[in-house]
Amino acid sequence: MKVSAFVTSTRKAGEEYILSTITAGGRLIVLSQEHISPGAYVEIYGTKVDKEIPELTSEKITVLSERGLKKVKGDIEKFIGRKCKVGTKLPIKDKILNSLTPEFEEAAQRIKNAVFLHRPIIIRYHNDPDGLCSALALYFATEGARNIKFFMNTYPFYREIECATDIETMQHLDAEYLPPLFIACDFGAWEESLDQYTKLRNAGFEIMVIDHHPPHPDIKKYVDCFVSPFSVGGDSNHVAGLLTVEVAYLIAQIDTHDLHLIALTADRMKLPWFKPTPESLKKSLALDYLLQISRQKYTIEELAKTFADKEAMGVLYMQATERIDEMLRVLKPKIKRKEFSNLIVLTFSTDNEFKEGEFPGRGDMAEILSDELGEKSPKPTMIVGHGEHSMNFRLNTAALKAGVDVRVFINLLKEEMPHAIEAGGGHPGAASLRVKKGFAKSVFEQFLDDVEQYAKLKGS
Higher pLDDT pick, 68 / 261: 261
Task: Could you please state the CATH topology (level 3) that the domain comprising 95-318 is classified under.
Answer: inorganic pyrophosphatase (n-terminal core) (3.90.1640)
> 295 falls in which pLDDT band (50, 70, 90)?
low
pLDDT at 460: 47
Among 281-295, 297-311, 345-359, 363-377, the minimum mean pLDDT is found in 345-359
Taking each continuous run of H as one helix and of E as one strand, the counts in the chain are 16, 17
pLDDT at 293: 83
Integer Cα distance of 282 and 173 in angstroms: 40
What does pTM read for this prediction?
A: 0.87
Judge whether 2-79 and 335-459 match in fold.
no
Task: Could you please state the CATH topology (level 3) that the domain comprising 2-79 is classified under.
Answer: OB fold (Dihydrolipoamide Acetyltransferase, E2P) (2.40.50)
Beta strand ranges found along 212-265 (DSSP E): 225-227
Percent of the chain with pLDDT over 90: 79
- Indicate the class that CATH gives domain 335-459: alpha beta
> 251 falls in which pLDDT band (50, 70, 90)?
very high
Q: Helix 101-116 crosses helix 240-252 at what angle (to 10 degrees)?
A: 60
Mean pLDDT of the chain: 93
- Judge whether 182 and 122 are in contact, CB under 8 Å: yes
Among 98-112, 159-173, 293-307, 317-331, the minimum mean pLDDT is found in 293-307
Among 160-164, 170-174, 238-242, the minimum mean pLDDT is found in 170-174
pLDDT at 156: 87
pLDDT at 459: 65
pLDDT at 408: 94
Structural domain boundaries of the chain?
2-79, 95-318, 335-459
Determine whether 414 is exposed, middle or buried from the number of CB atoms within 10 Å of its CB (0-12, 13-18, 19+): middle
User: Measured between alpha carbons, how far is residue 401 from residues 7, 378, 396, 428, 458 in Å?
Assistant: 58, 11, 9, 11, 14
Please write the tens of the pLDDT for every residue from 146-157: 899 999 998 889
Integer Cα distance of 365 and 51 in angstroms: 64
